[in-house]
Structure 1
Amino acid sequence: PPQGVQVSDDRGPIKNGITTAYAEGASLTLTCSATSGKPLARVSWWKGGELITNETQYFPERKRSQSILKIDKLIRSHLLAVFSCEVSNSQLQPPLVVRVAIDMYLRPLEARLQGLNHPLSAGRRTDITCKCKGSRPPAVISWWK
């Protein structure tokens, strides 16, 4: 059977089953590699029980096979989405499975000013609050004059 399974992205090996954070709109390439095994393993990507790709590249000289999952544009629904890499070279044994979740930065969906429901007057104090929602991590709000 295959001995090792490793998932990596453009930044290197994935640790603790979650990618480093990617910006909304960025592209992401995940590579799942299997080493050893005779014959070399078939490698496939799954999400929620559905096959995404089972296109496997074989490198016999290095005793390795791999499959690449490319997401051209990350969207909000990819946040913490779990993708599974399955590695198998025999129907007699269950596949080796490695799961990876996608971490993301999300820009704010909305910024709103509160407290402007009356006319402003010179020399009179008015409190205005800026509320922001939909960002991850929470947005840093600053005021400029």
Structure 2
Amino acid sequence: MTSIHQLAHASFTIYQDVEPPEFWTNYFGVLPDTQRIKDQFWLTSSGQKSKFPARTGLWGVRSKEHVQSNLLAPHLRYLVERLALPRSDLPELLKRTGAHMRFFCYWYNESGDRVPDVPDDIRVMMEAMGGTVEIDEYR
């Protein structure tokens, strides 16, 4: 799906250095949009080799290419469905690997009158599993 400039989109990312990215790919059954291994160089979104090695490992998927909406809720619900969240064993995996998990939300608000629409059930679910929902607002 070709993306136009959207006013909102979201990503799901796990940051940790214990397991390789393939562990999370197998766990979720989803190919990542981005992945890095600590202390290794990676290909940037432009296809160039990074100038510096990764400071931490990460595994993540994005909604931007799959959901056309200027609201966050459809993007977050897409990620929840794609990753089959919540998962009862995920909090223990996060603890074992020392991982941090988050939904990272892009929110463009040039007019200053848009209010991010993160559904309460998704925020509660993420907190219960040990994750966070973060909003990066641009004006």
* Structure-1-length-normalised TM-score: 0.29
Q: Which structure's relative contact order is higher, taking Cα pairs within 8 Å and 6+ residues apart?
A: 2
* Structure-2-length-normalised TM-score: 0.30
Larger helix share, 1 or 2: 2
State which structure, 1 or 2, has the greater radius of gyration over its C-alpha atoms.
1
Larger strand share, 1 or 2: 1
